[in-house]
Each structure stands twice: as structure tokens, then as C-alpha cells.
Amino acid sequence: MCERRLREFDASIRNYNLAIKYAETDSAIWSYTVDRAWVKFLQRDYDGCRADCRLVLEEDSLNIRALSDMAMAYEAEYEIDLALSFLNKILTFDSTNVTVIMNMGFVYQKDGQYEK
């Protein structure tokens, strides 16, 4: 990853940390935390991404963004079963979520289980 991009990600993390610190509502805190988790995912800090997602899921166990980010972090490290478990959890309450269905296809394909 290029140096400029890494500096941008670091700046984003710092900004989200400040936003979380000064947020006035719980929903804002969780939104900023999920956003920070995605930046950590982009930095390939999958443990950090999952840690932020866990914080959100402790308060809102049905947060689609946090569940999806958890799945993608596990998928990135070839933890296919864990990735699928988070994607399936989303589908239990949002069965028509096209993004999740497509992500499941990518995960199955990565695992070699994809069937047409």
C-alpha cells in the first residue's frame, strides 16, 4: 500500500477517534465506530476491525454494517465458516439484502464451494 494512502488512513482513524470521544449520542458513537472499523479493514488490520465491530454488536446485535464488516474481516483471513456465520445472521432478519447475498457468493467462491 502506498505511503500517501497509509497516511490518509491514519488521519481517518484519528478523526474517528475524536468523533467518538465527542459524540453526543450512542447512535453516533456506534456509527463512527463502524466507520473506523472499515478503515481498519482497509488497512488490513483485521483484528482491529473485528474489535470495533464487537463493540458495536455488544450494544446492537443486529447492526448490519458491523456484522458485514466482521464477515469480511474473517473472509480476508480465509476464516470461511466464521464469515458465513455472520452473513447468515444478517440474512435471518434481512433475507433480501442483495449485497450480503453477493458477498456470500464471493465467500463460497473463495472457498471453492461455489456452484452455479
SS (H, E, C) 94-105: CCCCHHHHHHHH
Grouping H, G, I as helix, E, B as strand and the rest as coil, residue 77 is coil
3-111 architecture in CATH? Answer: Alpha Horseshoe (1.25)
Query: In the prediction, which pLDDT does 10 show?
Result: 82
For residues 5 and 77, give the distance between their C-alpha atoms in angstroms, rounded to a whole number: 22
pLDDT class of 116 with cuts at 50, 70, 90: very low
- Indicate if the pLDDT at residue 97 is higher than 70: yes
Q: Where are the domains of the chain?
A: 3-111
- Indicate if the pLDDT at residue 4 is higher than 80: no
Q: What is the pLDDT of residues 69-78, one digit of tens each?
A: 999 999 999 8
